[in-house]
């Protein structure tokens, strides 16, 4: 009896949530990172009237831009419109978006770490939870909503460097010059992200994603020492929640063996990693998400479809693959290419799994 019951429950799961759990799906679910954004004319129109921070802090506007791509494309998931740096503003960090995050006073001292307030999501960033509730009330049940946060090391990069960078040399040297202050800051960030992600799940987020956007800058030894422990702390802090956790390991190919130890449901991959290799290293217990190079969306239709087929072939015929780009979509992308991508993934994989 309980077995029959669980079969029915599983069949009713939206494809995205089924894939997160490694369960069979009617088609490979697809969504794309930064699916709400500047490549959409309707997003640019909203941005003419409101700056980015106003967008994130006004639930009606955040909900509107979250839903915009869902009106155009048959995506299998949505992601709440916000930013990884938004909760840090709630902890007392003064920053602006130009358009990347720029911190008024980069963190370099113990005193600055001590001055960070513990995050109280309902008090500090209530608009995020309100946006989640609004989006949930409008989304069809087959399209789950993803809540998200930055990984501690990725947030650390912006806090210590104070601005976007390709190499993040200050944060990386700071790890070695000031290991104790670094570890303290990383732990503080982990604790804040636990309460932040829990609050998003309580408000209705059906999956949680952790963006390790800059973890790939760390070699395995430093990733194991500085990158992983605060991620483990977050995973443990969320372990009682029945919400799948996605870990986007940007440029994480060299660290996959270590990542295989993390108790996450899904690992997001960039295009530099063959999915087949990643699956072998990660083991059967984890689903994967990715990993078309966003540049390929600029190819002619036939090539785009062929390259999508290559990603699907790389992912193999087993369950537990969510189609996505290997990183965020570029603002110059033609929205028609996105429509083609979504439709092609669905057509190619319908009832084949
Ligand atoms: O002018 C604008 O419109 C602001 C540009 C912008 C946008 C649209 C920023 C500033 N953030 C966002 C939204 C955003 N950021 C989302 C929205 C939801 C969706 O995907 O549709 C998400 C998930 C993020 C997360 C984020 N912010 C990450 C992790 C994902 C990734 O790209 O690796 C990172 C690294 C950031 C920092 C950030 N915020 C904004 C920018 C331009 C950046 C990148 C800066 C850099 O290059 O280092």
Per-residue pLDDT reduced to its tens digit, 300-317? 999 999 999 999 999 999
What is the pTM assigned to this prediction?
Answer: 0.95
Catalytic residue among 158, 223, 226, 247: 158
- Listed in sequence order, the residues at least 6 apart from 95 whose beta carbon sits closer than 8 Å to its beta carbon are 85, 88, 89, 101, 102, 103, 104
DSSP H or E run through 209: strand 207-212
Nearest to 79 by CA among 253, 267, 247, 207: 207
| Cα 83 to averaged position of ligand 1 atoms, centre (Å) | 6
250, with CB counted inside 10 A (0-12, 13-18, 19+), is buried
Instruction: Locate 294 and state its tokens.
Output: 């966003």
Q: Is 71 a catalytic residue?
A: no
CA-to-CA distance for 341 and 297, rounded, in angstroms? 8
pLDDT, residue 1, reads 37
Catalytic residue among 83, 265, 270, 314: 83
| Cα 61 to averaged position of ligand 1 atoms, centre (Å) | 16
The crossing angle, in degrees rounded to 10, of helices 59-72 and 126-138 is: 40
Closest approach atom of ligand 1 to CA 43: 3
Are 209 and 234 within 8 A, CB to CB? no
CA-to-CA distance for 13 and 141, rounded, in angstroms? 9
Closest approach atom of ligand 1 to CA 148: 23
Q: Which domains does the chain have, with CATH numbers?
A: 3-349 (3.20.20.210)
CA-to-CA distance for 14 and 207, rounded, in angstroms? 12
- CA R_g for the chain: 19
Instruction: Locate 25 and state its tokens.
Output: 């799906």
How far is CA 144 from each of CA 235, 268, 329, rounded to the nearest angstrom? 21, 17, 20
pLDDT, residue 28, reads 98
**Residues framing ligand 1 (Cβ under 6 A):** 33-38, 47, 52, 79, 81, 83-84, 97, 99-101, 148, 164, 211, 213, 250, 328
pLDDT, residue 5, reads 44
CA-to-CA distance for 230 and 217, rounded, in angstroms? 16
Nearest to 341 by CA among 25, 18, 39, 24: 39
Q: Is 158 a catalytic residue?
A: yes
- Find the Cα–Cα–Cα–Cα dihedral 318, 320, 323, 325, rounded to 10°: -120
Q: What pLDDT tens digit does each residue of the chain (353 aa) get?
A: 344 444 445 668 999 999 999 999 999 999 999 999 999 999 999 999 999 999 999 999 999 999 999 999 999 999 999 999 999 999 999 999 999 999 999 999 999 999 999 999 999 999 999 999 999 999 999 999 999 999 999 999 999 999 999 999 999 999 999 999 999 999 999 999 999 999 999 999 999 999 999 999 999 999 999 999 999 999 999 999 999 999 999 999 999 999 999 999 999 999 999 999 999 999 999 999 999 999 999 999 999 999 999 999 999 998 999 999 999 999 999 999 999 999 999 999 997 44
| Cα 317 to averaged position of ligand 1 atoms, centre (Å) | 32
Instruction: Locate 169 and state its tokens.
Output: 């040399």
> Residue 96's beta-bridge partner residues?
102
Category of 208 on φ-ψ map: left (φ > 0), alpha (ψ -120 to 50) or beta: beta
pLDDT, residue 4, reads 44
| Cα 53 to averaged position of ligand 1 atoms, centre (Å) | 12
Nearest to 325 by CA among 33, 65, 47: 33
Which three-class secondary structure state does DSSP give residue 288? strand
Q: Which of 64, 67, 99, 135 for a ligand 1 pocket mutation test, highest count of atoms within 8 Å of Cβ? A: 99
pLDDT, residue 11, reads 64
Q: How many CB atoms lie within 10 A of CB 295?
A: 13
Residue nearest to atom 35 of ligand 1 (CA): 213
Nearest to 201 by CA among 98, 72, 31, 80: 80
Q: Is 38 a catalytic residue?
A: yes
Closest approach atom of ligand 1 to CA 154: 35
């Amino acid at each position: 009896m309980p077995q029959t019951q669980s079969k029915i429950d599983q069949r009713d799961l939206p494809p995205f949530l089924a894939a997160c759990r490694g369960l069979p799906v009617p088609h490979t679910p697809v969504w794309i990172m930064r699916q709400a954004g500047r490549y959409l004319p309707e997003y640019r129109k909203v941005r003419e009237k409101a700056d980015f921070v106003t967008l994130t802090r006004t639930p009606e506007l955040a909900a509107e831009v979250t839903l915009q791509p869902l009106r155009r494309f048959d995506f299998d998931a949505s992601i709440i419109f916000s930013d990884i740096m938004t909760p840090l503003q709630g902890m007392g960090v003064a920053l602006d978006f130009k358009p990347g995050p720029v911190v008024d006073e980069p963190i370099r001292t113990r005193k600055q770490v001590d001055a960070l307030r513990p995050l109280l999501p309902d008090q500090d960033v209530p608009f995020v939870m309100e946006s989640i509730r609004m989006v949930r009330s409008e989304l069809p049940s087959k399209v789950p909503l993803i809540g998200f946060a930055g990984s501690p090391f990725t947030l650390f990069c912006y806090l210590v460097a104070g601005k976007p960078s390709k190499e993040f040399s200050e944060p990386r040297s700071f790890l070695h010059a000031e290991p104790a202050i670094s570890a303290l800051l990383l732990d503080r960030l982990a604790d804040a992200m636990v309460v932040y992600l829990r609050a998003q799940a309580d408000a209705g987020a059906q999956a949680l994603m952790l963006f390790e956007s800059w973890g790939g800058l760390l070699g395995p030894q430093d990733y194991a020492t500085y990158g992983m422990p605060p991620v483990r702390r977050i995973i443990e802090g969320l372990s009682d929640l029945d919400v799948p956790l996605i870990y986007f390991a940007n440029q994480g190919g060299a660290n996959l063996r270590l990542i295989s130890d993390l108790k996450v449901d899904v690992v997001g991959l960039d295009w530099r990693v063959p999915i087949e290799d990643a699956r072998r290293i990660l083991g059967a217990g984890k689903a994967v998400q990715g990993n078309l190079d966003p540049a390929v969306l600029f190819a002619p239709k036939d090539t785009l479809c062929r390259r999508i087929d290559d990603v699907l072939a790389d992912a193999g015929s087993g369950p537990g693959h969510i189609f996505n780009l290997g990183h965020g979509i570029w603002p110059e992308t033609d929205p028609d290419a996105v429509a083609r991508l979504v439709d092609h993934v669905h057509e190619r994989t319908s009832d084949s799994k």
